[in-house]
Structure 1
Amino acid sequence: MRRGPWECSPGKQTRHVGGSESGLECTEAPPGIGETSGLSPITPVLDPFAFLYRATLALWLAAAVFSESAQAWGPVGHQTVAIAARAQLTPAALARLEELMSLEPGTTFADIATWADEHRSPETAPWHYVNFPFGDCNYRPARDCPDGQCIVAVLDEQLRILTSQAPSSERLLALKWVVHLVADLHQPLHAGMAEDRGGNRYQLQFLSRWSNLHSLWDSGLIHHMGEDAPTLAARLARQFWPSAPGSLSVRAAAEESCRIARKPWFYPAGAVGQDYIDAYSPIVEQRLWLASVRLAALLNRALR
């Protein structure tokens, strides 16, 4: 088969060095996922009681398939993170969470996860991401967030409000932002480059349709898995649990996402094929699960 202008020879992949076709060059195909993901491995913790917790978690998530299925094909990634995180909350944190959510009867935790996207405004649009210059994933506030209007600064501020003695209505609003932004922080292109608007200007074909790289990572790869949020959350729990306790430095997580998005194999050339889907769907799964573990750890501390 004749290769297109963006395709490399077998055993090679493209390396993104700019925002146009001329900014692509061929390089060696990536090694295994464990080597290239930029993630620390999620290593099982050998705990004699781990199987009991895992079974409980799986049962709770299985029940969620029926109780939250109405949200099946909304922003699946955010809902998956929220559902998986809720199952990892301590009883004390869960009680405080339900107390805050009682201010809006009928609202589910999955609803909270998508609230920030449903209420976007020009003022809050920059809160969802941070831009890094090409080749430098070291966060520098003066350069990368000079006005404090980026995901790193805003998430820290919303966490401060959530843990404060502010009125419950303000803390509920902060909770909505925290749940959403922790998930955003783990999508690599929310720590992308200004030059291509975090992959939004990088056009590609996916499943015979034109799209862009940001959309592919936001939803395309997840939708290709063919699962709604509760089902995906339950599968990730079975796949990754037990894992090391979560901790989150907002700055470090942004830098972590940046490093994934800077891998030479991250920007596909032209049409996205099955090889790309097979290689990077596991990274999407890791990011979703890691976001849920870290979100749960944050809420367990903030809602003690």
Structure 2
Amino acid sequence: MTTLSTILIWQYPAFAWNKAGHMVSGAIAYNDLQQNHQEVIKKIAAILKEHPEYSKFEQQWNSLNKSNISAENQNLYLFMWAAKWPDEARTNQTFNHPTWHYINFPYQPSSSSSSIPTEIPGEENIIFAFKKNLDIVQSNATNSEKAVAICWLFHLVGDVHQPLHTTKLIINQYKEPEGDRGGTRFYIRVNPDSQTISLHKFWDDLILGSENFQTVRNTATKIRTSYQRSKLPELKETKFNNWAKLESFRIAKQKVYLDGKLSGSSNKNDGKLLPQNYAASAKPIAERQMSLAGYRLADVLAEAVR
């Protein structure tokens, strides 16, 4: 079994990217800001230190210090922590907002798929959540409230670049209104001898399977080197809702569901085997999406706290 396949069958909760993936986007944003807007890092770090759960960051940081992580990396790890925090807060009713992590634009291969999807007014989805938290950061709210909102900005910018957090497949096998729920009910196997997982989980786990600080940092560096800001024309698009509607939704249709040709199972114990080159093709798509998430997060933060 390949290394990629091994990573993909590890067990993680069904988050948009796994926690390690979100940490990578935080690290990419940090490194980008370090080059272009160091003052933004200082402002963000100062606000995050007033986060109501900052003590949990300190606990994790102190644990890292035992592994000889230098103090100069504290703000880098703070960015990593902020990006994954909304997933860690899922068990806390004060901060948990399950519907903020996604928007389910319906994809029906049998109908016209060229039109731009529309939002449901009043729905508390990822687009709603981004605007709400950006407004808080730019308001006269307390730094404690802003710190929570900043963590959500970190996380939502990452989430919206995972194609299956913008899309639900609607076919006879997965009927309205729920469809396949962002691929969470679309079951596949990577190899003939691998276990069944959801298509959503497959895409979540494409970036990284480890929350180790050095591994996350190295992965972020590799992605930034492979996908340099100057070579990503997509960065001209700066509207969050278009990242969901025009980019991730299109990728879900064309690259995730293969224009409706990808076969999946409704049986969580017996997934359909992915096409032979599917995993190899998906990996660079996920990495490019992650690079966009990191650079765009840096831009959002620079604008939000200027």
Q: Which residue of 1 aligns with 2:90?
A: 120
Q: More displaced, 130-139 or 147-156? A: 130-139
| AA at the equivalent of 1:94 | I
Q: Which residue of 2 aligns with 1:228?
A: 215
Query: Whole-Å Cα distance in 2 between the matches of residues 131 and 173 of structure 1?
Result: 24
| AA at the equivalent of 1:84 | I
- Residue pair 1:247, 1:294 contacting (<8 A) in 2 also: no
Q: 1:218 aligns with which of 204, 219, 222?
A: 204
| AA at the equivalent of 1:93 | V
Alignment of 1:279-298 (within 5 A): 279-298=281-300
Structure 1 residues 84 and 126 mapped into 2: Cα distance closer, same or farther (>3 Å)?
same
- Residue pair 2:102, 2:126 contacting (<8 A) in 1 also: yes
Query: Whole-Å Cα distance in 2 between the matches of residues 287 and 228 of structure 1?
Result: 19
Query: Whole-Å Cα distance in 2 between the matches of residues 127 and 259 of structure 1?
Result: 20
Structure 1 residues 86 and 246 mapped into 2: Cα distance closer, same or farther (>3 Å)?
farther
Q: Which residue of 1 aligns with 2:20?
A: 76
- Residue pair 1:179, 1:295 contacting (<8 A) in 2 also: yes
| AA at the equivalent of 2:180 | D
Give 3-state SS (helix, strand or coil) of 1:186's partner.
coil
Q: 1:102 aligns with which of 49, 54, 62?
A: 49
Q: Which residue of 2 aligns with 1:252?
A: 242
Query: Whole-Å Cα distance in 1 between the matches of residues 107 and 151 of structure 2?
Result: 31
Structure 1 residues 98 and 221 mapped into 2: Cα distance closer, same or farther (>3 Å)?
closer
Q: More displaced, 167-176 or 97-106? A: 97-106
What's the TM-score once normalised by structure 2's chain length?
A: 0.68
- Residue pair 2:183, 2:198 contacting (<8 A) in 1 also: yes
Give 3-state SS (helix, strand or coil) of 2:157's partner.
helix
1:139-192 CA distance string (max 9 Å, x none): 423xx3x33310011111111111112110010000010000100000000001
Query: Whole-Å Cα distance in 1 between the matches of residues 150 and 207 of structure 2?
Result: 27
1:58-100 CA distance string (max 9 Å, x none): xxxxxxxxxxxxxxxx722101100000111212211111111
Q: More displaced, 259-268 or 195-204? A: 259-268
Structure 1 residues 221 and 178 mapped into 2: Cα distance closer, same or farther (>3 Å)?
closer
Give 3-state SS (helix, strand or coil) of 1:120's partner.
helix
| AA at the equivalent of 2:116 | N
- Residue pair 2:21, 2:207 contacting (<8 A) in 1 also: no
Q: 1:154 aligns with which of 108, 129, 133?
A: 129
Q: 1:200 aligns with which of 184, 188, 199?
A: 184
| AA at the equivalent of 1:261 | A
Query: Whole-Å Cα distance in 2 between the matches of residues 76 and 191 of structure 1?
Result: 20
Give 3-state SS (helix, strand or coil) of 2:106's partner.
coil
Query: Whole-Å Cα distance in 2 between the matches of residues 159 and 295 of structure 1?
Result: 12
Query: Whole-Å Cα distance in 2 between the matches of residues 171 and 139 of structure 1?
Result: 31
Structure 1 residues 268 and 229 mapped into 2: Cα distance closer, same or farther (>3 Å)?
farther
Q: Which residue of 2 aligns with 1:261?
A: 252
- Residue pair 2:190, 2:279 contacting (<8 A) in 1 also: no
Query: Whole-Å Cα distance in 2 between the matches of residues 151 and 133 of structure 1?
Result: 15
Query: Whole-Å Cα distance in 1 between the matches of residues 46 and 236 of structure 2?
Result: 24
Structure 1 residues 151 and 131 mapped into 2: Cα distance closer, same or farther (>3 Å)?
same
Query: Whole-Å Cα distance in 1 between the matches of residues 84 and 98 of structure 2?
Result: 14
Structure 1 unaligned blocks of 5 or more: 1-73
Note the C-alpha offset of 1:246.
Answer: 6.1
| AA at the equivalent of 2:281 | A
Q: Which residue of 2 aligns with 1:133?
A: 106
Note the C-alpha offset of 1:210.
Answer: 0.5
Aligned-residue RMSD, C-alpha? 2.5
| AA at the equivalent of 1:91 | Q
Give 3-state SS (helix, strand or coil) of 1:119's partner.
helix
| AA at the equivalent of 1:112 | A
